[in-house]
Amino acid sequence: MSESEISGAAQAPVLALDGPSGAGKGTVAREVVRTTGWHFLDSGALYRLTGLYCQRRGVDPAADAAGAAGLAAQLPAAFRLDAGAERVLLDGEDVTAQLRTETTGALASQVAALQPVREALLQRQRDFRRPPGLVADGRDMGTVVFPGAELKIFLTASAEERARRRHNQLKEQGIDVSLDALTEEIAERDQRDASRATAPLQPASDAQILDTTGLEVPQVVEQVLERLRARLGLPGAAARG
């Protein structure tokens, strides 16, 4: 008897989208969500929020992993849609803009290397899995959080292209950083994420690798949707709004 038969209910399907920074996970995930009506887990936001919360509460994750995990376990975070725009609140304060900076990304990567922090966030991430399905964006969606995901895609692109994309994205948000500095910061973060002992950034053994270098966003979205349809028999591209 399978696990779902034992629990009495089949679980909602999961699309696990993992990969390094700037590969396009968030962009593609949101488009897939728009098309399918599935739920969305931005797991990176939870690590970013944990990093920010540690900073605000004066906890140094490098010296106090248990303290950081304690804050992660009771993260006072709320995700809102405000006239179609995503807003993220931490302890009631709007931290949407601060969340996406590379400084916060580096903080996130530091707390994310701590096993107790990852454990503290595990169930919270799994709770996002609800019908009709979940698109989960992160580093370990297919390896640790949802190892039984129906479809696992590892999105990647060359380091230069990922840095360029991030640079453009930040510029559009009015954040001015040098491309060289950004390239270095992203390389450092990828290196830390890939080499950590716990849940390192790596494709699951059953993940499909999708290199997006030289592809436009709609092409990547179409490829992902195609694979999802093939796997689950979802309605065709004509349904896209």
Ligand X SMILES: Nc1ccn([C@@H]2O[C@H](COP(=O)(O)OP(=O)(O)O)[C@@H](O)[C@H]2O)c(=O)n1
Ligand Y SMILES: Nc1ncnc2c1ncn2[C@@H]1O[C@H](COP(=O)(O)OP(=O)(O)O)[C@@H](O)[C@H]1O
84-113 binders of ligand X (CB under 6 A): 105, 108-109, 112
- Which residues between 186 and 225 bind ligand Y (CB under 6 A)? 212, 215-217, 220
Measured from the CB atom, the residue of 22 and 133 that comes closer to ligand X is: 22
Distance CA 240, CA 35 (A): 5
100 close to 88: Cβ distance less than 8 angstroms: no
Tokens 């969500």, residue located: 33
Instruction: Give 37's DSSP letter.
Output: -
Q: Quick one: what does residue 138 bind among ligand Y, ligand X, none, with the CB cut-off 5 to 8 Å set by partner type?
A: ligand X
105 is known to lie in a ligand binding site: no
Q: Which range, of 24-32, 58-66, 174-182, 190-198, touches ligand Y by CB under 6 A?
A: 24-32
Q: At what angle do helices 115-126 and 102-112 cross, to 10 degrees?
A: 100
Q: Are 132 and 12 in contact (CB under 8 A)?
A: yes
Does residue number 21 form part of the binding site for ligand X (CB under 6 A)? yes
Using DSSP, state whether 141 is helix, strand or coil: helix
To the question of whether residue 171 is assigned a binding role by annotation, the answer is no
21 is in an annotated binding site: yes
Give how far the C-alpha of residue 131 lies from the chain's centroid of Cα atoms, to the nearest Å.
19
- Identify the residue whose tokens are 């949707």: 225
Cα separation values, 12 from 129, 154, 198, 207, 224, Å: 6, 20, 27, 19, 18
Does 23 belong to an annotated binding site? yes
Q: Is 198 annotated as a binding residue?
A: no
Pattern of binders to ligand Y over 149-188, x per CB under 6 A?
----------------xx--x-------------------
Q: Does position 27 bind ligand Y by CB under 6 A?
A: yes
Site membership for ligand X, residue 193 (CB under 6 A): yes
Read off the DSSP letter of residue 108. Answer: H
Residues that bind ligand X (CB under 6 A): 21, 26, 43-44, 47-48, 105, 108-109, 112, 138-140, 189, 193
Residues tagged in the binding site annotation for ATP: 19-27
